[in-house]
Structure 1
């Protein structure tokens, strides 16, 4: 398998359109409650507004070079004002529980099924955490997992995130970390 990890600028988010929509379908297929909430979730309603509202964005796509550079995975991570997470849809965390003005969020993460179990997820996660660590003023990291996606929930827990709480009556599980992620090798 000949894979290439590529950080892309915001101007190229269109590269993520199909996988973002696949992610929304995947989440709906796993969900056990409030399936109707997924009906309006897609690239245009989730990724585009998030990128526009963020202070800093980090987008990585994974291309399969053996398949004409087909994009097979992506991760979208951002730094946003904490107030962005209290809106008409939901309040994602108690704003007063965040020390600074901004938070880091691993916002979207998707790998095509046939590419899972090759370490792509761990690599993308590590890249995202290394990027977040560059922001000294960010102390709170969040990840939001839709109900029914137990594999994702366990993956993030193994990576050092803890379940904080549920929102929307269990529709989303909020994971949180208040530490910088260390990716140093033992000396």
Structure 2
């Protein structure tokens, strides 16, 4: 589990269809083979440590759902190690399992901050609420506004400087993970509604058979 508080920005040095090698001296002090590291919000397993960086395998499913397949050598990526049991919970509950990608449609200066508008699929937008939490490229952020076609986030200078959001431009693809609590609530409510509909159909069938 992660919290969406980016620890450092790494640099992709090697990439192919099945693995990445990312330079990241800062987070390697306590990292071991088999540990989980979120790369742009995607939970990956460290398969090898070498030369001030780490290797991680990437599945086709991950490449299709995230922007990792678009990475090239020299690309900067947000990194966060899995949360320690005695760590501080600075963001929100982040699983590292991407729900899909969004597209940056507008970037505007907003006082001392910068506001981003991101379009996304209806299934993702349905679970976004104003002032709720959303993970964008592994960063825990507060939703500033949401519409039927997009949502917006307001980024302070510190976050712009310490993550890859400062590199982002209109048209760029970003990884999105909805608040896991919202996903569970939707699933549970959806299940109960299905059960109610099935019960109603069963009652109608029994009444018809009794006629």
Q: Shorter-chain-normalised TM-score: which range?
A: under 0.3
Structure 2 length-normalised TM: 0.24
Q: Which has the higher helix share?
A: 1
- Greater radius of gyration (CA): 2
Q: Which has the higher strand share?
A: 2
